[in-house]
Amino acid sequence: MHNQHLHTVCESAQCPNRRECFQRGTATIMILGNICTRKCRFCAVQSGAPQTVDSDEPRRAAELVKKLRLRHAVITSVTRDDLSDGGASVFAETITEIRKSAGNETTVEVLTPDFQGSEKALTVVLQSAPDVFNHNLETVERLQATVRPQADYRRSLDVLKFAALFPRPKVVKSGLMAGMGEDDDELLQAMRDLLAAGCQTLTIGQYLAPSRHHLPVHRFVPPETFEEYRRKALAMGFKEVASGPLVRSSYMADSFFMNAISGKTEKN
């Protein structure tokens, strides 16, 4: 990864599962550099003035996917509000390069920013036909302004709704964090809002503050409560749900995708 001058959100966001995922031969490639134009209070990714777009990055990402023989490639990015299309064209080019290099042997999942709600930018990404489109809602409506002040709850739902109306992707996905100050009723309402927007699969994990300068953890949710969230989300109608303290939006993404399209999810 480092030899190809590529970044992973696994490292930049200090994911607690990165050793396990690397050992399984999976990783989430982070394109468009590793400096974000936004400053969300939960995120460990560096914010500031981003680098110039690297035109060769999509090719290198595809080369890495082929070299590692990844069955399921997850592509995400920092938010690039400085770019006219938010980096949508780089997402599309990366997907195209992976298809050319790895063919149909590799499924592709994208975890995108909101592109400031631009349907034009979203269309560019979706027309490149990712197998999974993921955009994280992150938290409940009441906490949005505190947790991610440059984003918007309804805008994120609109992004997911727009993706759900496309013939491809096969799966629309989102993620929530628990322990940021929400209560269970608010979290369940966020699940219902996601389902109404056309989201089919969901991840729910424990928020862990990356440093003392980030938003503090308000509560540590016990594993049995996460399991209860999972049961309730499946009962609502989600096709697949991963819910647990160390679950993150790309955790076990390959098997998560296969379970969602095959309908093999355990309901209890």
Neighbours of 183 (CB within 10 A): 11
Backbone angles phi, psi at 77, to 5 degrees: -160, 165
Mean pLDDT of 145-156: 96
Kindly state whether residue 2 falls inside one of the protein's structural domains.
Answer: no
Kindly state whether residue 16 falls inside one of the protein's structural domains.
Answer: yes
Kindly state whether residue 141 falls inside one of the protein's structural domains.
Answer: yes
Taking each helix axis from N to C end, the angle separating 119-126 and 88-102, rounded to the nearest 10 degrees, works out to: 0
CATH number of the CATH domain containing 153: 3.20.20.70
Kindly state whether residue 267 falls inside one of the protein's structural domains.
Answer: no
- Count how many domains the chain has: 1
Share of the chain above pLDDT 90, in %: 68
Task: Answer whether 0.85 is exceeded by the pTM.
Answer: yes
Kindly state whether residue 146 falls inside one of the protein's structural domains.
Answer: yes
Quote the tokens at residue 197.
């927007």
The 10s digit of each residue's pLDDT in 207-244 is: 999 889 899 999 999 999 999 999 999 999 999 999 99
Kindly state whether residue 108 falls inside one of the protein's structural domains.
Answer: yes
Domain containing 104 equals 7-262
Q: How far apart are CA 194 and CA 177, in angstroms?
A: 14
Kindly state whether residue 178 falls inside one of the protein's structural domains.
Answer: yes
Kindly state whether residue 13 falls inside one of the protein's structural domains.
Answer: yes
The 10s digit of each residue's pLDDT in 108-141 is: 999 999 999 999 999 999 999 999 999 999 999 9
